[in-house]
Amino acid sequence: MTAPAGGMAVPGAAALPLLLLGAAAAAGCGYQSCPPTRPDLLNVHLVPHTHDDVGWLKTVEQYFYGVRNEVQHAGVQYILDSVVAQLAADPSRRFIYAEVAFLARWWRQQDEATRRTVRQLVEQGRLEFVGGGWCMSDEAAAHYGPAIEQLALGRRFLRREFGACGTPRVAWQIDPFGHSRQLAAIFAQMGYDGLFVGRVDHQDKATREQLREMELLWRASGSLPPPTADLFTGILPNVYNPPSGFCWDQLCSDPPVVDEDSEENNVDSIVSTFLQIAASQAGHYRTNHIIMTMGSDFHYENANLWFKNMDKLIAHVNAQQANGSRVHVLYSTPSCYLWELHRANLSWSLKTDDFFPYADGPHQFWTGYFTSRPAFKRYERLSNNFLQICSQLEALAGPAAREGPYGPGDSSVLREAVAVAQHHDAVTGTEKQHVADDYARQLAAGWESCQLLVANALASLGGSKENFVFCNALNISVCPLTEAAGRFTVILYNPLGRRVSWPIRLPVNGASYAVTDPQGQPVPSEVVPVSNFTRRLRGDAGSATGELLFQASAPPLGFSTFTVSRLSRGDPRVPPTRTPVLAQPREIQNEHVRVLFDPFTGHLKEIQNLDKSISLPVFQSFYWYNASVGNDESPQASGAYIFRPNSSKPIPVSGSKRVSTYLVKNALVQEVHQNFSSWCSQVVRLRAGQPYVELEWTVGPIPVADGWGKEIISRFETTLRTDAHFYTDSNGRQILERRRDYRPTWNLSQTEPVAGNYYPVNSRIFIKDQKFQLTVLTDRSQGGSSIFDGSLELMVHRRLLYDDNRGVGEPLVELGASKQGLVVRGRHLVLLDTVESAADQHRLLAQELFMAPYAVLAPGGGPSYHRGQPTLRQFSALRQELPHNVHLLTLAPWDAGTLLLRLEHPFERGESANGSQPVTVDLMNLFSAFTITSVREMSLGADLPLDAISRLVWTPATGPAQPRPVPKLDPSRVTLQPMEIRTFLATVQYKVPGAGPGGP
């Protein structure tokens, strides 16, 4: 049956429900719907599947509709049409599907008859959803917050449309380029029974095949009590492709099974080849069950080709049992295969580290994508930050946020765009340029919808209809309102559960300003000149000569409004002097930190923590690795995926030993501006009261006229004796110990001394000795390492002239808006502390980076929201601050009258004397914006009640761990243990008459 044009129902599908009720499939969904197997034979589970990237060589919409097939032949709508028709035609066939972003779009096209057919297929376990996220997320560059949300978004759709049978039991991460411990812990806490992965390091895989350890139990947390974060993990035999010679898609060229009277008849050779492959594969696995993935990228557009040939393969291989063959082939799914492994009742080897970095051959380390497309990586992080603010305000203001004076507000556009951005070819930077542009376009559209919502909510909560202005280009000092206006207001919204003090920096043209806080008290402010780096960066976009600085404070889960007015020359409040600018400074300091510079070279040379009276020599500079184009050892070039420098010694960005520097110093800030080259500069900044050093770097356009691709790093060198060890985070949450040229589970043969030691850094990297720790926090995902003892480096930008031959077919040359090459600006926050108290600082600081307060501007003086309603200049939705070791991860509308809440303990067990203690919160008296009337505790995905989660229990080789019963919830005493995330659905009533949450 050929696929119909888009928008039509599958022809004939509606007429097939009778077939669907065949006896073979009457057992219902889940494990009880699994096909019978033969305990005395080798059972080969054929798993028909398609791998549908949510954007890669084409955009999401181009893939869905089958547009631009000259780039790649792929049309997801036809795949789903064709598969449903083929499943309906024969009750023994099965199929799995993963990417809900495509499924949800296809579902909207279908008529009721087709939907009924699909629901029946799901209820019979013949169409099984695996993974179930909006996309198949990346694991290196994805932050745990949006990673949880994109899974929850997909699972919620499946639950709503298909009920319990639509809930995935198996996590399906078959294409991501390495696998993280934190994501495994998330899958376990969402209730998945197992995880299947496709890509593990070639040396790791070879070792595991030899030891028959291709299937294992992954203990994905050192803090949560087992088996809470234990996850059975299976490594697939062929990444996710069919065995060689058995690819029957229209995109393949293997011969079909010819079993009629013809000189093309090939049954004997096909059967014997298949039996050989099955026997060989069985030698690497432990049970009499093996799995084969029958499908690949965008397969099954004509599903008949696949199913017709698999039907014949099954029949002919099984017919050989009459001649003594010991192999039984069947249509199956990952969960049915998993069920058989569980029934085998074995104990499994235990893994506690992760699967990074990934290499698919010598010299081929996929560690470049940890940094690729750094501007998009930052935009993704910022977009999630704004999504959390948007969701919180929608929850706090209720329907007034969605229907208000500024138009219809909608958080779902940004929620879906951020979910798509988690895809393993999106945030990774491994997509074609036009696709990266489209991901950014989707995020921008989401920002627009959320800005309307935020404006509605702020007007409703604050009581005045201001002309709210969102200045999205503050990082290059552009904001027309503040540049021109003599008077304006700044509304600072704080999404964290504790009060924060936040630096405000706005482009202005006046010489001095008066700033007042919500109570009308004066706030100290300064105007500093806009730096030459920034002037060059913004071009014609803005014309501000100065930047107004002041420290703003905002209450937890709330906002403060500040008024700013330009002072005229004769005003007595005008400060007497301009900020002085000094060349070649020697030091900067505040009450907490002193930073020393080498007066001859201009480089940073020492950091002192004045609170603890400790100091550490720290040299920092920028270097570039020359990207390999391939050599005699290996033709592998550096590209979007792969990092391969042509030498282990990077080249300093600055041509001379001396970096030109100047100092900006006033009561609020001290800055040393360093210029390393025409395309690389940095500001070393200390604000009053700030216990860390901020390095704001600006890099690009990376010059490539010399024909050399370049990978730019910021490197720190210290005297710490680190003994080859360093530490990186896992998706912004757990911390993992790393050791140079070493892997915990096999004897590494190292072919790339730099790239083979790079790890993903989502939020922080640190080095330490017995006493002191130097931590660097990032504002986006980057690759990082410690290439020699006492050093630490982060790759901030890369521009390459060759493709690395992994399918994207394009060199990573990002031209940027100017078409001259992309310029990237970002921040590294540097903390020097004792080993014992370092976590107390970096845990809280990391939260402030990924859930940063957000400033909305307005000219001021808007009319009342309701006649007679007083204006609130300060608002907090909490009755009191949350303890420092409780983080409000999620506050979002769910259904009418219901909100979703996630509370987390951000510390690991034993990393902080105070922070790592259990902590108890009274949920019922936490919020002032609404009253909670009832609470239900849910699994991490929020689609299942916590007490409904029942996972398969696996036995590790170290001995069994029994799951603990779920204690009865007392919402007035919610206790969080280290690293625990607890998820609740709360029914609420709003204080404001007539307000209350609707659906999302």
What is d(CA 179, CA 195) in angstroms, rounded to the nearest whole number? 11
What is d(CA 412, CA 326) in angstroms, rounded to the nearest whole number? 53
Which residues lie closer than 8 Å to 235 by C-beta, 6 or more apart?
196, 197, 198, 200, 205, 208, 214, 215
Q: In what order do the strands lie in the sheet with 525-529?
A: 500-508, 546-554, 525-529
Nearest to 431 by CA among 820, 135, 131, 92: 135
Q: Is the dihedral of CA 67, 297, 782, 833 positive or negative?
A: positive
Which residues lie closer than 8 Å to 575 by C-beta, 6 or more apart?
512, 526
CB 300 within 8 A of CB 292: no
What is d(CA 375, CA 380) in angstroms, rounded to the nearest whole number? 9
Identify the three-state secondary structure at position 356.
Answer: coil
The neighbour count for residue 408, using CB atoms within 10 Å, is: 11
What is d(CA 67, CA 50) in angstroms, rounded to the nearest whole number? 18
Nearest to 699 by CA among 686, 683, 685: 683
**Residue the block writes with tokens 């029942």:** 950
Amino acid identity of 533? F
Nearest to 102 by CA among 147, 149, 52, 58: 52
Region of 806 (left: φ > 0; alpha: ψ -120 to 50; beta: rest) is alpha
Encoding tokens for residue 653? Answer: 């960005």
Largest CA distance in the chain: 105
CB 687 within 8 A of CB 668: yes
Paired sense of beta strands 874-876 and 558-566, if any: antiparallel
Is residue 175 among the annotated active site residues? yes
CB 194 within 8 A of CB 952: yes
The neighbour count for residue 23, using CB atoms within 10 Å, is: 7
Q: What are the beta bridge partners of residue 529?
A: 546
Q: Is the peptide bond before 701 cis (omega within 30 degrees of 0)?
A: yes
Q: In what order do the strands lie in the sheet with 42-48?
A: 289-294, 42-48, 327-331
**Residue the block writes with tokens 């063959």:** 325
Nearest to 251 by CA among 305, 318, 324, 192: 305
Nearest to 780 by CA among 151, 187, 140, 220: 140
Torsion angle defined by CA atoms of residues 452, 455, 457 and 460, in that order, rounded to the nearest 10 degrees: -130
What is d(CA 80, CA 78) in angstroms, rounded to the nearest whole number? 5
- 46 membership: H or E segment, kind and range: strand 42-48
Q: What are the beta bridge partners of residue 516?
A: 522, 563
Identify the three-state secondary structure at position 355.
Answer: strand
Encoding tokens for residue 111? Answer: 């008529």
Torsion angle defined by CA atoms of residues 238, 239, 244 and 246, in that order, rounded to the nearest 10 degrees: 100
Identify the three-state secondary structure at position 964.
Answer: coil
Q: Cα-flanking dihedrals φ and ψ of residue 146, to 5°?
A: -65, -25
Q: Cα-flanking dihedrals φ and ψ of residue 97, to 5°?
A: -140, 145
Of 53, 81, 138, 175, the active-site residue reads 175
Which residues lie closer than 8 Å to 698 by C-beta, 6 or more apart?
533, 537, 680, 681, 682, 823, 824, 825
Nearest to 93 by CA among 289, 366, 304: 304
Which residues are tagged catalytic? 175
